[in-house]
Amino acid sequence: MTKILDCTLRDGSHIKSFSDECILQTLHCAENAGIDYIEVGYDFPECIKSSKVKTVVMVDAKNIRPVSQEADCVRVACYPNQIQTAIQAVENFKSQGFEVFLHLMTADKFEDYELLKKWKNKDILTSIYFADSFGSFMPDDVERVYKNLEDCGFERISFHAHNNLQLAFVNSLKAVELGAYSIDATVFGLGRGGGNLPLEVFLKYLGKSNNEYLELIKKYYRETPCTYSYESMMSGMLNIHPSQAIV
């Protein structure tokens, strides 16, 4: 069964500020829905004292820094030219007792897989993630990158979609079909660019209860501006960062 990683509090932080109450209610919903992981941000929120869901903190390869021991997992995100730094970071965080994810941004632009093939410690990863960073993927792109990572020897592969072309849902289903270890999603599709896979919709597809999330959205998320825009659409069409698509 594919696992779910709720990255609302991290990816959503680019466009929304979260009160302690909102953070705790989002965590509460994740616990009750049986979500496997919740990414709490780039730092561990002080308001979280305990969690039934595994908590994840993201670290960018360009800015490796210590992570609170309150977290369960660390996700190290990198662009293709930062892969060596990211590998060293995940090995270091693993030695500190964290579960670790390696997260490949702009995965379709990653061409040199030799380093990943030669990496002998890839089994320390809970999973390797690949991201459709600019929301430009079609299902065939998901399959191509997924199989490239399989060819590198990775057995647990995960996917992070963006919704610039309104394809986050169908692309995530393609990753599930391929055997993805986990899928990222956010409450109400919250996230920069075109947003992310809407968690409540994915739960509906999986036949899981999403009633608490519907109430959560009404209280905390419904006023958040829709992230689908001309700029986000052009970002996906041109496969470029949203900041470059402002025309």
pLDDT confidence of 245, banded at 50, 70, 90? Answer: low
**Who contacts 63 (Cβ-Cβ below 8 Å, separation ≥6)?**
none
171-184 tens-digit pLDDT: 999 999 999 999 99
Quick one: pLDDT at residue 226?
Answer: 65
Quick one: pLDDT at residue 36?
Answer: 98
Contact 131, 104 (CB under 8 A): yes
Contact 162, 190 (CB under 8 A): no
**Residue 2 above 60 pLDDT?**
yes
> Collapsing DSSP states into helix, strand and coil, what is residue 53?
coil
193-233 tens-digit pLDDT: 789 999 999 999 999 888 999 999 999 998 876 677 777 77
Quick one: pLDDT at residue 173?
Answer: 98
| Residue 81, both tokens | 């030219």
CA angle 151, 77, 75 (to 5 degrees): 90
CATH number of 3-244: 3.20.20.70
Give the chain's mean pLDDT: 93
**Residue 236 above 90 pLDDT?**
no
The full set of domain ranges for the chain reads 3-244
**Residue 20 above 70 pLDDT?**
yes
